[in-house]
Chain A
Amino acid sequence: MTIAANRIVAGEGVPAWAVAAPALVAPGLAAVVLGLLLGLPLHWPRLRLLGAVIGLGGLLWLLMQGAPALLEGAGDYARVSPAIGFWCLLTILMLLMADALAQLAPGPVMRGAMLGGVLATLALILWSGALAPLSVMQEFSSRRAAFADAALRHLALAFGSLATAAVIGFPVGLLCHRNQRLRGSVLPVLSFLQTIPSLAMFGLMIPILGWIALNVPGARAFGIAGIGFTPAFLALVLYSLLPVVANTVAGLAAAPPTAIEAARGMGMTPNQRLLRVELPLGLPIILTGLRIVLVQNIGLAVIAGLIGGGGFGTFVFQGLNQTATDLILLGALPTVALALVSAIVMDILVELTRPDATRTA
């Protein structure tokens, strides 16, 4: 753990065993060591899962005991943050947990329940105020309103662009599926868009939309401007089109050719074929496309902070400018959590839409 005189200067390290009175620290340390030991056996994933949970509990205990103890008498502006050792242990324990879960391969419902449980625990810990003395949480409490605003903005950017890309991309994918020549020209253009570096894309939006705002009557009233929400949103939509269109095309092509031939031969119209055969069989692939887009956009939306688009990126860039690491974390941690949760939820959806036959066989 590190303690610093204020939020800017570099902190000085305090080893885990010295953060508080030995009697308080010991159970936490013991739990971490026990957790790591339980994680060692190769063939007992349940044991490893248990070890990871115990270890994470130990880390949490150390944070809860250490932070107030260190702050005591350190001055009004003093800040406590977890240091490198904490982050390393956190990573190792999370990896153990992920590995154990991969071996156990729980069903979609079970995974949903686990995710809910983890989120509820996390919410309970944050809400209880046990971690309030930590620097990140202090940054949060001084920016409560701004954080809620940024969270809404971030969600609006990520999910809004996903929805827009789906509304545009799905019909385009459908047309590409029906028309070979269209596919040949649309997909390369979208691939090219995908290769534009994200910063350059945001930069490019500024003059283009700025010009539109100046020269198209009514555009400004519509909220179109060179910087802010609109260019960020537009850039995200453009990035999303390739995965949506490409996966729609791939999904619709996933139905076995003999099934399509049979559908034609029994007198289904092209629309009936789409709704009853191609779409149900391709849905997992199409949803996988949406999953890629969602996770990608949650990450990319951080950069929107740079052009005034709002979202968690605002904190990241403010933090960078002020060399305030904890402010960066305040932007980065929720983004990572959001991306992880979305990925897991989308995976569960993909699994649920898989045709029964392939699930049971």
Chain B
Amino acid sequence: MIEIDRITKVYNGVTAVDAVTMTAESGTITVIVGTSGSGKTTLLRMINRLEEPTSGEVRINGESTLATKPHLLRRRIGYAIQGHGLFPHHSVARNIGAVPRLLNWPKEKISARVDELLTLFSMEPDQFRDRFPAELSGGQQQRVGVARALASRPDVLLMDEPFGALDPIIRARAQDDLRRIQRALGSTIVLVTHDMEEAIRLGDMVAVMDGGQLVQHAPPAEIVTKPATGFVADMVGDMERPLRLLSLVPLSEVMEDGDAPGEALPADSSLRDALSACLWTGRTAVPVERDGLPAGRVTLDAIRARAELGA
């Protein structure tokens, strides 16, 4: 659990972060979203003391971050950044093992951990271990960057626009991977982005920053249906709201018994996917399958009812 308590950062008389208080529960993803200059990155960097707070404090699992020397604190907190920041002169294995090496893990434990992480990120260890960052694709570099941040099993993972440099298709895959890995490991993640779509897609909680202040901190559905200020509404986008909302609801929630013609969708895809399939193929209902077996159907009316609820 990360407790941020009235934390403030002032640069040369300009307040970048203004008395922000919020809590990120263990095992959840909190996404901080805002425009550039909103103070979101400064807020993130104060958690591992890359920026020293002007006032206020951060507690991780109840312990103040001020109680530990900054570099020792950072070794316990994973940190992944935009453009991956891999060391170009080190192999993939040395990059991933960087923090464990700082913590003086024994060699065998480090190499076992490296292989475990490469496998987790769907990269064949024998094939990738000894490559250099310049020999990887952008998506692979980014995965190695996140793997490096997770290497020492940190209490907390901080991510600063980790997918910012990726093209849309790779980015969507990277987001799915992160969700899957976070579920598997139960890590606590705080992620910064300027992309509301990404925030809604990834976040268990979304924190919207504007002008150094935290304007809303709520689950994604609430951000979409009840934006606290005009700024939040703008970030969500009026026209997009029903679609954003539908993208949060899995088919299993509105599924009914019965059958429908055409190709089936998996039960964990969203209502937005189902709506899209209905419109594109001119159907009024789509069949749903779970583990490859027919499970029921979702009708266009049910989707519409769910989208109107938000109004």
Min distance, Cβ B271 to any Cβ of chain A, angstroms: 38
CA A62 to CA B103, docked complex, whole Å: 69
Decide: A358 and B81 in contact? CB cutoff 8 A. Answer: no
Residues of B within 8 A of A261 (CB): 81, 85
> Could you tell me the distance between the alpha carbons of A269 and B145 in the complex, rounded to whole angstroms?
20
**In the complex, what residues of A have CB within 8 A of residue B158's CB?**
265
User: Given A261-B81, A262-B79, A265-B48, does the pair A360, B132 have CB atoms closer than 8 Å?
Assistant: yes
| B86 close to chain A: CB less than 8 A | yes
Q: Does A361 contact B (CB under 8 A)?
A: yes
- Does A355 interact with chain B (Cβ within 8 Å)? yes
Q: What's the nearest-Cβ distance from chain A to residue B83, in Å?
A: 5
Q: Does B75 contact A (CB under 8 A)?
A: yes
Complex-state Cα separation, A264 to B87, whole angstroms: 12
Determine the distance from Cα of A357 to Cα of B89 in the docked complex, in whole angstroms: 6
Q: Which of B71-85 contact A (CB under 8 A)?
A: 71-76, 79, 81-85
A contacts with B: majority SS: helix
CA distance A281 to B87 in the complex (A): 9
Q: Is residue A340 within 8 Å, beta carbon to beta carbon, of the partner chain?
A: no
Which single member of A259, A266, A277, A357 contacts B79 (CB below 8 Å)? A266
Within 8 A of B (CB), among A270-320: 272, 276-277, 280-281
A267 within 8 A of B: yes
A265–B50 CB distance below 8 A: yes
Closest residue on chain B to residue A280 by CB atoms: B89
The verdict on B133 contacting chain A, using a C-beta distance below 8 Å, is yes
B79–A281 touching, CB < 8 Å? no
Taking CB atoms, residues of chain B closer than 8 Å to A357 are: 88-89, 132-135
Query: B159 to chain A: closest CB distance in Å?
Result: 11
Which residues in chain B, 133-151, are within 8 Å of chain A measured between CB atoms? 133-135, 145, 148-149
Q: Tell me, rounded to whole Å, the shortest Cβ–Cβ distance linking B192 to chain A.
A: 13
Interface hits, B245-295 → A, CB 8 Å: none
Interface residues on A, range: 20 to 34
B132 pairs with A259, CB closer than 8 A: no
A266's contact among B75, B82, B88, B91, by CB below 8 Å, is which? B75
Return the contact of B102 from the options A256, A266, A277 (Cβ within 8 A).
A266
Q: Which residues of B contact A259 (CB under 8 A)?
A: 85-88
Which chain B residues border A355 with CB–CB below 8 Å?
88-89, 132
Taking the nearest CB of chain B, how far is it from the CB of A266, in angstroms? Answer: 5
- A352 close to B (CB within 8 Å): no
Whether a CB of chain A sits under 8 angstroms from the CB of B99 is yes
CB atoms of A358 and B48 under 8 A apart: no
**A258 interfacial contact with B, CB 8 Å:** yes
Q: A193 → chain B, closest Cβ, in Å?
A: 33
B102 close to A258 (CB less than 8 A): no
Which residue of the partner chain, among B75, B83, B134, contacts A358 with CB atoms under 8 Å?
B134
> 8 Å CB contacts to B: which residues of A225-264?
256, 258-259, 261-264
Contact residues in A for B133 (Cβ distance below 8 Å): 357
Question: Are B102 and A268 touching (Cβ within 8 A)?
Answer: yes
Kindly list chain B residues whose C-beta atoms are within 8 Å of the C-beta of A76: none
Encode contact with B along A323-361: 1 for CB under 8 Å, 0 otherwise. 000000000000000000000000000000001111011
Q: Which residues on B sit within 8 Å (CB–CB) of A269?
A: 71
Check B88 against A267 for contact (C-beta < 8 Å).
no
> Which of A259, A269, A360 lies at the interface centre, i.e. has the most chain B CB atoms within 10 A of its CB?
A259
Can you sample 15 A-B contacts with CB below 8 Å? A259-B85, A261-B85, A262-B81, A262-B87, A265-B81, A266-B79, A266-B99, A266-B102, A267-B73, A272-B102, A281-B88, A355-B132, A357-B89, A358-B88, A360-B135
- Give 4 new A-B contacts, CB below 8 A, not counting A263-B87, A268-B102, A356-B91: A256-B85, A262-B79, A267-B74, A357-B134
**B interface vs A, CB < 8 Å?**
48, 50, 70-76, 79, 81-89, 91, 98-99, 102, 132-135, 145, 148-149, 158
